[in-house]
Amino acid sequence: MQGKIILITGATNGIGKETALGLARMGAHVAIVGRSRERLDATAQEISADAAVKRMGGAVETFAADLSLMADVRALADAFRAKHDRLHVLINNAGAVFNERQVSADGHEMTFALNHLSYFLLTNLLLDTLIQTGQPGANARIVNVSSDAHQSVREMRFDDLQLERKYTMFTAYGQSKLANILFTTELARRLAGKPVTVNVLHPGFVATGFGKNNSGIMTTIFSVLQLFARTPEQGAATSIYLASSPEVETVTGEYFAKSKSARSSAAAHDADAARRLWTISEGMVAVNTPTVVA
């Protein structure tokens, strides 16, 4: 991975941080994204000081963005392109869960905005750079972090995507994770013949700060559950594998768990739903996707 440029969202703690550290230890140049400038600086300092990173010549830079805001996603893409004309791997990792329904400044339900729309918009804004970077036998890669929580919903609620009529945190989260898989499979279809692969993964239930942005009993529940969770290092393993392993050089449109191809739900294989979600997402974030085959 020496000399390769990797952009990782949600990289100041948990899975994202360990993914960035692991790839930097392979010699990659990792660009990490987070909301807090203070946490970004601390994470970058920690990665830069790591002995293996120093030995392998890895490097780190930071980009601050609130990915629930589509203007921040656009600004992130612009800032990245201003510094780099190559992108070997994009890892969409940022995500959250919200006990009570919240709406972003753009008017989008917060879970859907952060967990799906940010993936969709950032990827499409950087797609030209990824295509230009990839070469036959050395594909650029897109890695989307989803979850087996997608199995908790039977289908996308296209009649109520924003969950205005009935909101539960588990439905919102499960639907956003199903959206990650549908986005991945449709993007893989559209990228056929291009030197870019895209895969999606379940990291396992990992002991991170996930869920602790909520208040009251839910914070306690998440804290207790995480006593039985995998470590962030274990959770990052599949992301690192999909970003770096020659074994998946040409694999695309697949769902992975524990660094192996895994079975997703029946709803995740609904090609019509994937195309419908793509069209709706385009309209929600006001982006056209002319660089790919429809």
Name the catalytic one among 119, 173, 241, 255.
Answer: 173
Closest CA to 44 of 69, 241, 236, 36: 36
Q: How many angstroms separate the CA atoms of 119 and 114, rounded? A: 8
In angstroms, what is the C-alpha Rg of the chain? 18
Q: Residues 202, 151: contact at Cβ < 8 Å?
A: no
Q: Are 94 and 10 in contact (CB under 8 A)?
A: yes
Is 241 known to be catalytic?
A: no
CA dihedral for 245, 250, 256, 262, sign (positive or negative): negative
How far is C-alpha 133 from the chain's CA centre? Answer: 19
End-to-end CA distance of the chain, in Å?
Answer: 32
Report the C-alpha gap between 294 and 194 in whole angstroms.
13
CB 270 within 8 A of CB 264: no
Tokens of 178: 């199903």
DSSP 231: P
- How are the residues of the chain apportioned to helix, strand and coil, as percentages rounded to the nearest 5? 50, 15, 35
- Residues involved in catalysis: 173
